Amino acid sequence: MPRLVLLGLWMLGCSLTAHAADWPQFLGPQRDNTTQEVVEPWAGELKPVWKKPVGEAHSSPVVVNGIVYAFYQPKGQNADTLAAFDAKTGERKWDKSYERAEIKLLFGNGPRATPAVANGHVYTYGSTGILACWKAATGEIVWKVEALKDFKASNLFFGTSASPLVHDGKVIVLVGGKGAGLVAFDTTTGKVAWQATDDPASYASPVILNQQIVALTGANLRGLSPSGHPLWEVPFKDKLNESSTTPILAGGWIIASSVTAGSIAVQVMEGDGSFTAKKAWENKDLTCYFSTPVAVGDYLYMINGAATLTNPSITLRCVEIKSGKVMWEKKNVGRYHAAILRCGPPGKERLLMLDDNGHLTLFAPSEKEYKELAKSKVCGPTWAHPALVEGRLYLRDDHELMCFELKR
């Protein structure tokens, strides 16, 4: 008899070596928008503790060992820059760059993917498909590979965007070449450790769930073993090839979303040494552009919107996990994107939302109604995800990296 694989988040074997108070990768310590830190409602407008100018990017800041890392395109240069800042003071420790080919994209030419910090190194994936390993202490480049060029893969319309995943001595990225849908590189040398599938790339970042690599590619939601062996797949293709949300675990199911195909819940079964996967539900109205949903108890909180250049608008929704049913919605919370963080221990959760108009909102999870607790304008337009470390929120907009004190 097949048995349901309870897909709990599994990070113990992951080679990220950050402290509990760090934010070492895209979407945080567990790569799922969550933190145990408690955020209380604030009064009035929040003021930055510090802010520093940075170049163009949608890449999010990460924080490890008291250092904030920002990845961006320096003004007037065809290059990618990694910079390190003191988390307390904002003092710039160093910045280092490599040159790259010129690229012209809608919505900016800077990096989209967020760095991952592991074992004293920072791994970045630029918008032209360059994967690089830098020394975290100095910014010295240890190795660099042109993944798209090496695997004869075409770049995406908006540029390479999926954030690198570090796991078991490998850094895993979506490439999209023939036989190289996903590729794992040795973290020490940059040499190819394995490559798998013919799937085209997407903008969605891979994640580790239950000792499996789970990725939303340009064609499928799929699971692979840590050695790159494909285990299961469910076809899920966005009409515009714009799948951008990271798969998450909710209620024992994997939730995946895209901007045209809506959202699905997938049940993965294991039996006789093999895996099968099937849709538990599908809701085509739950269209997510690139905001990854979060789960609290039996409910999802997600940002839905449509792919449009005319009067874009997004809606915050509470969705029942077991059915995909919408419990309530709040319209016009932003234009294209809002990042949501689940803060606090079980039973005491609150949700922190940074929308792309620069408003930071704290609200209480509830299946009955939207309950706003605090709101403040904190920055200019932004698509980057914030990082919360020891009561301080680190975020960036089109021009500046900044820090806000949320602990009272």
324-366 pLDDT per residue, tens: 999 999 999 999 999 999 999 999 999 999 999 999 999 999 9
**Mean pLDDT across the chain:** 93
336 Cβ partners below 8 Å, 6+ apart?
289, 290, 305, 312, 314, 356, 383
Q: Above 50 in pLDDT, residue 11?
A: no
pLDDT value at position 10? 35
pTM over 0.75: yes
Question: How does 247-264 read in b/e, with b if 16+ C-beta sit within 10 Å?
Answer: bbbbbbbbbbbbbbbbbb
Least confident among 32-36, 89-93, 102-106: 102-106
pLDDT value at position 20? 55
Q: What are the extents of the domains in the chain?
A: 3-405
pLDDT value at position 107? 84
Residue 235's closest CA among 251, 247, 210, 218?
A: 218
pLDDT value at position 290? 87
Among 2.140.10.10, 2.30.110.10, 3.40.605.10, 1.20.1260.10, what is the CATH number of 3-405?
2.140.10.10
Residues 23 and 115: their CA atoms lie apart, in Å, by: 11
